[in-house]
Amino acid sequence: MTTPTAALDTVRIAIARACKDADRDPADVTLIAVSKTFPAKAIETVIGAGQRAFGENRVQEAKAKWPALMAKHVGIQLHLIGPLQSNKAKEAVALFDAIHSVDRDSLCEALAKEIAGQKRAPLLFVQVNTGAEPQKAGVLPQDADAFLKKCADVHGLTISGLMCIPPADEAPGPHFALTAKIAKRNGLKLLSMGMSADFADAILLGATHVRVGSAIFGGR
Ligand SMILES: *Cc1c(COP(=O)(O)O)cnc(C)c1O
């Protein structure tokens, strides 16, 4: 079996190669190691190999695992990559350094209130449902511009980038390209896109944050 440390090296090498192919600076691509479902022990192995940015998809699970890990290891950057309920905005703002799943007004309102109250401002990404999948969170591509304007004008939120999860049964490239296009015309610099199977494609299309789980930690 490949150890998480060896797997992390393989992913790092693949990211470096994709950056070279895309003529991009590797410093502009953040690898987020997605540790959902994995216990603290497995996570500590990866921290030991120098990884600092991690992703979780559930607030409760992250709250159970990460405060202790963050107390023990300096420089951890925690990303919420899963859907967020408005009633968990308080916990999310307190724990996470970035939230990748902003997608509706009620959540914007709750986040704005917590950011002001806690004086903590996680990096915010708006999730775009590029495949218009009914089961998936995110704003529809055709609604993205108006939603981004509302985030700023109505809610006073600073949105730094966009996030997408392409449909599992489609080639991801067009979804990454569409997300990059929406970001560009809205003046957004960050792009959270690409997972274990397609992070190299995502980097070629401009990803600044790749969310890689199973390629590092193994199957879930
Ligand atoms: C689980 C998850 C990932 C990581 O997926 P892998 O295929 O294991 O790399 C990335 N993004 C989101 C939103 C996820 O929920």
d(CA 94, CA 157): 16
Residue in this structure with the two tokens 């489609």, named with its chain if needed = 170
179 touches 162 (CB < 8 A):
yes
Test site for ligand 1: of 34, 56, 100, most ligand atoms within 8 A of the Cβ: 34
Distance 153 CA to ligand 1 centre (A): 31
Residue in this structure with the two tokens 């590797």, named with its chain if needed = 26
**pLDDT of res. 1:** 60
Residues with CB under 6 A from ligand 1: 34, 36, 57, 81-82, 165, 195-196, 211-215
**pLDDT of res. 65:** 98
In the chain, % of residues over pLDDT 90: 98
**pLDDT of res. 202:** 98
Q: pLDDT band at 3, cuts 50/70/90?
A: confident
d(CA 113, CA 16): 39
The ligand 1 atom nearest the CA atom of 101: 13
Instruction: Give the pLDDT confidence of 42-79 residue by residue, as tens digits.
Output: 999 999 999 999 999 999 999 999 999 999 999 999 99
Instruction: Give the pLDDT confidence of 102-142 residue by residue, as tens digits.
Output: 999 999 999 999 999 999 999 999 999 999 999 999 999 99
Test site for ligand 1: of 211, 216, 220, most ligand atoms within 8 A of the Cβ: 211
Instruction: Give the pLDDT confidence of 193-219 residue by residue, as tens digits.
Output: 999 999 999 999 999 999 999 999 999
Closest by Cα among 178, 101, 107, 177 to 141 = 178
